[in-house]
Amino acid sequence: MLTRILFLFLVLMFPLISWGTEQQQALFEKANQLYSKAKYKEALKVYEQSVADGYQSAEVFFNMGNAYYRVGEIPSALLYYEKAHKLHPSDEDIDANIQLANSKTTDKIEAAPEFFLTTWWHKFFLLFSVDTLSALNIFCWITAAIVMVVYLFAQSITQKKVTFYMGIAFFFLGLITILITKKQSDYLNSHQEAIIFSTSVKVKSEPSDVSKDLFIIHAGVKVDIVENQENWLKIKLLNGNQGWISAESAREI
């Protein structure tokens, strides 16, 4: 009885899900067509509508970054390139465009040296996008289930051994993909970042307008958000420098 109810639910819901996906995909394609005709501002309006409707993906954010870059809005371009990077951290095209957009900014901030094992570890669990890891995880669980069913009906001892160990292998591979996905998600969510949008920002020693000026940063700089206090953000630059800025000066990635 439960199986029949579940089947009926899927039959009823699938057309609604498909319709929503088709509508969002149609908007995405419309925006791409406008972009290909160099109608960048018009394309951005459609991309933004697509995002507002819930269609958020690395491809959408990447294309929005490209459109903003074309109209000369570098901070906005960097904001959406970085959003795309969070969803697909190993994409070389995204990285290349981030570097290109950064070359147009005023500040050229060198990253502080990082221990090579830390760098290697970050590259390892950021190697695949969340979508890829999710698809791999589903594949592993389904394959493990199918193999175990084959194991139950296998006639020979050899077949039982092979299918049993295959099932165990896919089961553990599924667990590993879950752990990597969680690690990647925790890492990206724990790193609150923002892009500076104000033309010039004085970084303060304390969250107060009358506190000491430490240094100045300009539009397009990416910062880590260390602390959020009312209308102030404590930020950290790639080179390790820290201070406070007005929250209005930046937009969170």
**Residue 72 DSSP class:** T
- Give the whole-angstrom CA distance, residue 112 versus residue 117: 15
Whole-number pLDDT of residue 19: 39
Whole-number pLDDT of residue 114: 65
Whole-number pLDDT of residue 90: 81
Whole-number pLDDT of residue 43: 96
Whole-number pLDDT of residue 127: 77
Residue 40: alpha-carbon gap to chain centroid: 23
**Tokens 């033309």 belong to residue:** 199
Q: Give the chain's residues under pLDDT 50.
A: 1-20
Answer whether 43's CB lies under 8 Å from 35's CB. yes
Whole-number pLDDT of residue 251: 95
Whole-number pLDDT of residue 18: 42
The set of residues, in sequence order, having a beta carbon less than 8 Å from that of 159 and lying 6+ positions away, is 150, 151
Average pLDDT, the chain: 86
Whole-number pLDDT of residue 152: 87
Residue 41: alpha-carbon gap to chain centroid: 24
Whole-number pLDDT of residue 221: 96
Whole-number pLDDT of residue 62: 97
Whole-number pLDDT of residue 102: 95
Whole-number pLDDT of residue 15: 46
